[in-house]
């Protein structure tokens, strides 16, 4: 099976323009980029896709063995790059997909003109021994995963608004809740463990392509210390703090998010 059908790959925008690939996070699909894509299509070729197990991807391609770590997702990203043959592209990874971009760029740097890491976290769990602050204790994460296992739909309804932030705009939290609830619970349980238990701190230094770390001013999932840590570990990277709040700026502040991506892509091309 080709990657286009497996990952429901969609290509749009300006033919021959710099290529921007947008990768969604846990519990989401490419629909989460719908407000940003039209703003990028004016200048760039835009590639969006669904991770296997999400959206309109081929669910039969999912297996708990292949997708038990970020490596399976990273393999998919690189396969899409090879099949599209669009030249070095800028990969925009949201949340856990940011680390997929880190791994992919470390493995095949020539495939990438640059990385935009949007609300990234290389490790969600605090590490008192090194002073690293990921935002959650190990007990917090254990409790989160136990709650997800026990009642995924209930967990989605409780957690999605927290992740989204912007309580004055409840429709955003509702959209994320609905997105979570569309995900098969068995797939979500595996992906949640990959998302919240991975530790990619040591991989950051392996990135050699231009990188923008874009964090939100207030984010319950990836606090400012995390963005600063990522920027400090990727040689030559740049950090920008968006005015946007919450963990999903592509929904909460699409214009600001698109502007940050646009400025970076123009600079690296």
Query: Which positions are annotated as active-site residues?
Result: 95, 219, 247
Burial of 122 (0-12, 13-18, 19+ CB in 10 A): buried
Q: Which among 108, 119, 37 has a CA at the least distance from the CA of 74?
A: 108
Q: What is the DSSP letter of 15?
A: T
Q: How far is CA 141 from the centre of its chain?
A: 19
Bridge pairing between strands 45-48 and 10-13 = antiparallel
Contacts of 107 (CB under 8 A, 6+ apart): 74, 78
Distance (Å, whole) CA 160 – CA 147: 13
CA distances 264 to 21, 227, 259, Å, are 13, 17, 9
Question: Does residue 226 sit in helix, strand or coil?
Answer: helix
Bridge partners of residue 213, in order along the sequence: 117, 239
């Amino acid at each position: 099976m080709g990657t286009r059908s497996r990952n429901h790959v969609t290509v749009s925008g300006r033919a021959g323009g710099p290529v921007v690939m947008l990768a969604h996070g846990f519990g989401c699909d490419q629909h989460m980029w719908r407000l940003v894509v039209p703003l990028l299509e004016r200048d760039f070729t835009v590639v969006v896709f669904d991770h296997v197990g999400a959206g309109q991807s081929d669910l039969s391609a999912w297996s708990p063995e292949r997708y038990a770590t970020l490596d399976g997702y990273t393999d998919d990203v690189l396969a899409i790059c090879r099949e599209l043959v669009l030249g070095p592209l800028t990969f925009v990874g949201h949340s856990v997909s940011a680390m997929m971009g880190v791994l992919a760029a470390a493995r095949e740097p020539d495939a990438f003109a640059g990385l935009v890491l949007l609300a990234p976290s290389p490790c969600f769990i605090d590490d008192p021994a090194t002073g690293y602050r990921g935002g959650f204790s190990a007990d917090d994460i254990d409790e989160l995963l136990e709650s997800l296992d026990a009642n995924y739909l209930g967990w989605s309804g409780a957690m999605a608004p927290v992740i989204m932030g912007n309580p004055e705009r409840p429709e955003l939290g509702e959209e994320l809740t609905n997105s979570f609830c569309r995900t098969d619970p068995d797939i979500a349980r595996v992906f949640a463990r990959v998302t919240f238990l991975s530790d990619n701190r040591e991989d950051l230094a392996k990135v050699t392509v231009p990188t923008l770390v874009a964090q939100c001013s207030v984010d319950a999932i990836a606090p400012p210390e995390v963005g600063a840590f990522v920027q400090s570990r990727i040689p030559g990277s740049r950090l920008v703090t968006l005015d946007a709040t919450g963990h999903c700026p592509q929904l909460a502040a699409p214009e600001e998010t698109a502007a940050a991506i646009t400025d970076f892509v123009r600079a690296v091309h």
